């Protein structure tokens, strides 16, 4: 979408074949420019990140928008999970955001211009059984964005936090292959979005100047009681929804407990 408006787009991922295919798809949608770099963001070396940004800016000029959206989710139950998986999720889903965004934030702060977008998840504000490794890493991103937004404001660097629901990507289908049945039941009839629709919602929210952006009506109902002290787009609306927000959060908690109780009975 940004490319269609004439933007110079740089994409980064581990697999060159996928990057090449993505670049070819993007190049058909407008009059912008696109380049790509093969780079493993799961646990990047900061010096390598610095080199990556230098290469990107050498051709396309200053990075004005940084979208941090690398990550993975392989849900499993807490009692069955390998402890190494928790460390892996924090490295992939959280620490890579810290390293890449801090490196670029220093450049943006120096020139007093730029925007950083942290892509978390609806599970960065809510909870669901089966996501005891993934959800904390996404909550950490929200906390990071809440603080970084305040610290970068004097430097004219904007920060947005995106909390999408389920997006129909190849990663989501891989996630579903190992998702516990109890997690699927809690997820229920949640909305599933195509990537293009999800991107459209994000960009519209950014254009409106919203800090918190989500694809889920459920989050709109729960956020007055669940987002803490971060910036709110509509304080009056949050106050009006506060009683309903408490009830909605209670209901989500009830569904999680109820489904876990059913799961226990099935195993007895």
Distance of CA 75 to the CA centre of its chain: 16
Question: Does 134 qualify as catalytic in the annotation?
Answer: yes
Residue with tokens 């991107």: 199
Residues 6+ apart with CB under 8 A from 225: 242, 245, 246, 249
* DSSP H or E segment with residue 160: strand 157-163
In 3D, which of 217, 189, 190 has the Cα closest to residue 201?
217
C-alpha distances out from residue 246 to 44, 122, 190, 200, 240, Å: 40, 17, 19, 29, 12
Catalytic residue among 99, 138, 142, 179: 138
- Residue 179 token pair: 């998702």
Catalytic residue among 36, 97, 134, 211: 134
Catalytic residue among 120, 121, 132, 183: 120
C-alpha distances out from residue 174 to 84, 104, 163, 168, 169, Å: 20, 31, 20, 10, 9
Report the b/e string of 99-115 with b at 16+ CB within 10 A.
bbbebbbebbbeeeebb
Which positions are annotated as active-site residues? Answer: 120, 134, 138
């Amino acid at each position: 979408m940004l490319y269609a408006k004439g933007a110079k787009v740089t994409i980064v991922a581990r697999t060159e074949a996928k990057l090449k295919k993505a670049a070819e798809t993007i190049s058909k949608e407008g009059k912008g420019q696109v380049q790509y770099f093969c780079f493993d963001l799961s646990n990047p070396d900061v010096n390598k990140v610095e080199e990556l940004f230098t290469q990107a800016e050498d051709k396309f000029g200053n990075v004005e928008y940084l979208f941090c959206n690398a990550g993975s989710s392989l849900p499993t139950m807490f009692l069955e999970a390998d402890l190494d998986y928790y460390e892996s999720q924090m490295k992939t889903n959280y620490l890579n955001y810290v390293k890449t965004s801090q490196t670029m934030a220093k450049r943006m702060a120096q020139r007093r211009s730029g925007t950083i977008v942290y892509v978390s998840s609806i599970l960065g504000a809510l909870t669901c059984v089966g996501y005891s490794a993934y959800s904390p890493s996404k909550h950490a991103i929200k906390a990071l964005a809440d603080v970084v937004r305040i610290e970068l404001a004097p430097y004219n660097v904007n920060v947005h936090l995106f909390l999408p629901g389920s997006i129909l990507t190849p990663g989501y289908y891989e996630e579903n292959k190992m998702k516990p049945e109890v997690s699927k039941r809690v997820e229920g009839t949640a909305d599933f979005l195509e990537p293009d629709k999800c991107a459209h919602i994000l960009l519209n929210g950014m254009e409106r100047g919203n800090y918190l952006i989500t694809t889920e009506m459920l989050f709109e109902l729960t956020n007055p009681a669940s987002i803490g002290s971060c910036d709110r787009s509509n304080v009056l609306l949050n106050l009006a929804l506060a009683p309903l927000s408490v009830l909605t959060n209670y209901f989500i908690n009830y569904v999680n407990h109820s489904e876990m109780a059913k799961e226990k009975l099935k195993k007895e």
